[in-house]
Structure 1
Amino acid sequence: MANRSRLIEGCNMRWWFRCRLWVWWGGIVVAVVVLLALVCTALTHTYTNYLLRSLEGPLPADDPELLTYIREELLQPPSSEPYDLLEKRNVAQILVEESEVFYNKSLRTLFKDKSDGFFVEAGALDGETMSNTLWLERELGWTGLLVEADRTAYLSLITKHRRAWAANVCLAPTPYPSKEMFYIYPHYPGPLALSLGFKMRSMHGLTKYNEKATSSSWFTKVQCIPLESILLSLGVTRVDLLVLDVEGAELAILGHFDLQKFNVLCIEWKKKHEIDSVVQQFKKRGYVEAARLDEDIILVQHGSQYEGRLNTSTHS
């Protein structure tokens, strides 16, 4: 009887351990199944949302997820550190362009009594060379948005510690984000290389809008974001000055949203025979020509405080 009892007790113990083992493995299997189900559900949910939104067409400029992405991933906030500028050491200032003098004089006349304004400068280069907005920050306390698609120029820009938001993107020629081909002229050493400095990079731009891009140019794809989307992500509803130096893409960039939030526009248009036609297009959208020097145009919103302050058109 004692042997039989011990045998039964041993069997019960083995059965108990087997049950615990089955329960343990069963728990692991259930946990894995639940985890896989959650992952699959999450992936399916994200995919479904993306699919449904894609069926409706390209992302709208005010898409909430797009605006969050711009704020969190693309925008560099204004710096509070001391400026780190080349100033007199900037070799690009050895040769001062006539257009630089024109813009500086004209904008100082327009904004001489305007403090704490907001600007947008697209084609900002290194944030110092040929900048039309740096003096507004330093002398009148402005802030704004600096846009530069050229990665080399942008990396230099953010070292200047500008008091403005910065983005290493191009402004989209469409009302939705896109990837566009960007051309970069090869910079061969030459007699002007030293004196031009970052000015040599000012001729880069979107390939489809510039006939001068050649087989010797370098090409890369860049992320383009609608200006409207960037301003929405910043909560900006009024822009005192918009400077566009984007090598031919100006009309495409400005053609798909309301311009009434911009007081003053500075635009460079390389095809001089088209400038009068371009000015007429902006007149139809509520702007008047305030000044012109060759291919550089300044337009102000009709009825704004800036209308009539300038009368310095020089056609050639």
Structure 2
Amino acid sequence: TYIISDDYHLLICYKYFVTEVDNAAKMAVKKISAQRFLPFCAFVATFTIVMTILVCSTDMRTRRYHRLLNLSLESDFQNVAQEDPQLIAFIREHHLRPPPRLHSKRVNLDVEAIPEIGELFGWKKGGVFVEGGAYRHNSSSETEWLERALQWRGLLIQPDPQDFRLLLSRNRTRSHAANVCLSPTPNPKQVSFREVPKNVSDPQLTKVHCFPLYSLLLAYNTTTIDFLSLKAEKAELQVLKTLPFSRVRIKVISVLNPPDDKQYGNSLLVRLMRLLSVHGYKLNRYASINNRWVFVCSRGYSGCSALRVNQ
């Protein structure tokens, strides 16, 4: 009886020991599983946070895009000030084309009056230009030589779709381009260009945005310019009137002298001289760049401004 009782107690102790070992093993397995699962939980949490931020950011950008798009389609920007941040962002995001890649194939340089324009700027390197009406009606561009020979950079503006395609074919690797027109008012507008495709008798109308010159300068992120060249279909005077000269610095302004209308040209020259002289510019009668009038800032690179010119 004694032996049986001892074996019974031994069996009970053994079962208790086995149970405790089993429980300890299960707890250890759970602990190890939890430790292994912890990095996965951290990954899921991090991924969720990142995706939430990304979705919110994308939603904000989408709302901003639609707000800008609605502004362009519904109001046509007619009541928007030329320095409005939304307008500047719209131009920068949807109308400014960056320069082509550096390895793009270059075309032959065909520029007239190279010595005159080089001498006008003292053969300065690394200048900045803005050319309105670049490659107008298959014409040459005086800024192309500045870019190629003297490493200038700048902004090329051409509203006509056909002329803009010619502009792009020139592979200007240091120039941004904009297929827009210069507004004759301080507010944006929209115009239609009559485009005549080859082998098509009926012309097509293409809508093009017109932005104030100052808005384009802000979108290009510069208000200090060495050379401003304007060929704006007889709207040069109106375009210049929209400029807040107290906020920009322009060394030289070139305006196309219309060769087909001498009477209009003489009248335009008088009005240009009257406007620009107030802002410190003088007509350089000795400079001749492809039938253009050249106005030089009398204060040099310090900038011409209606608020800073000694009368």
The percent identity for this pair of structures is 32
AA of the residue aligned to 2:256 = E
- 2:234 maps to which residue? 248
1:214-229 to 2 correspondences below 5 Å: 220-229=206-215
Give yes or no for the alignment of 1:134 onto 2:181: no
1:127–1:134 CA contact under 8 A, matched in 2: no
2:138–2:166 CA contact under 8 A, matched in 1: no
Give yes or no for the alignment of 1:290 onto 2:280: no
Q: Report Cα offsets for 1:175-227 as digits up to 9, x if no partner.
A: 11111244679999xxxxxxxxxxxxxxxxxxxxxxxxxxx998654210111
In structure 2, distance between residues paired with 1:106 and 1:225: 31
Give yes or no for the alignment of 1:64 onto 2:85: yes
In structure 2, distance between residues paired with 1:82 and 1:129: 25
2:162–2:195 CA contact under 8 A, matched in 1: no
RMSD value over aligned CA atoms? 3.8
2:251 to 263, 282, 285: 263
Give yes or no for the alignment of 1:81 onto 2:74: no
- 1:39 maps to which residue? none
AA of the residue aligned to 2:239 = I
Q: Report Cα offsets for 1:228-249 as digits up to 9, x if no partner.
A: 1111122202010000011201
1:67-216 to 2 correspondences below 5 Å: 67-82=88-103, 84-87=105-108, 100-101=112-113, 104-125=114-135, 129-162=139-172, 163-182=174-193
Larger radius of gyration: 2
Structure 2 unmatched ranges of 5 or more: 1-62, 259-263, 304-311
More divergent stretch after superposition (252-261 vs 59-68): 252-261
Q: Which has the higher helix share?
A: 2
1:273 to 266, 270, 288: 266
Q: TM-score, normalised by structure 2?
A: 0.61
AA of the residue aligned to 1:79 = P
Change (3 A) 1:238 1:305: closer
Change (3 A) 1:110 1:128: farther
Aligned residues: 224
In structure 2, distance between residues paired with 1:248 and 1:282: 17
1:272–1:295 CA contact under 8 A, matched in 2: no
2:136–2:231 CA contact under 8 A, matched in 1: no
In structure 2, distance between residues paired with 1:111 and 1:132: 13
AA of the residue aligned to 1:251 = L
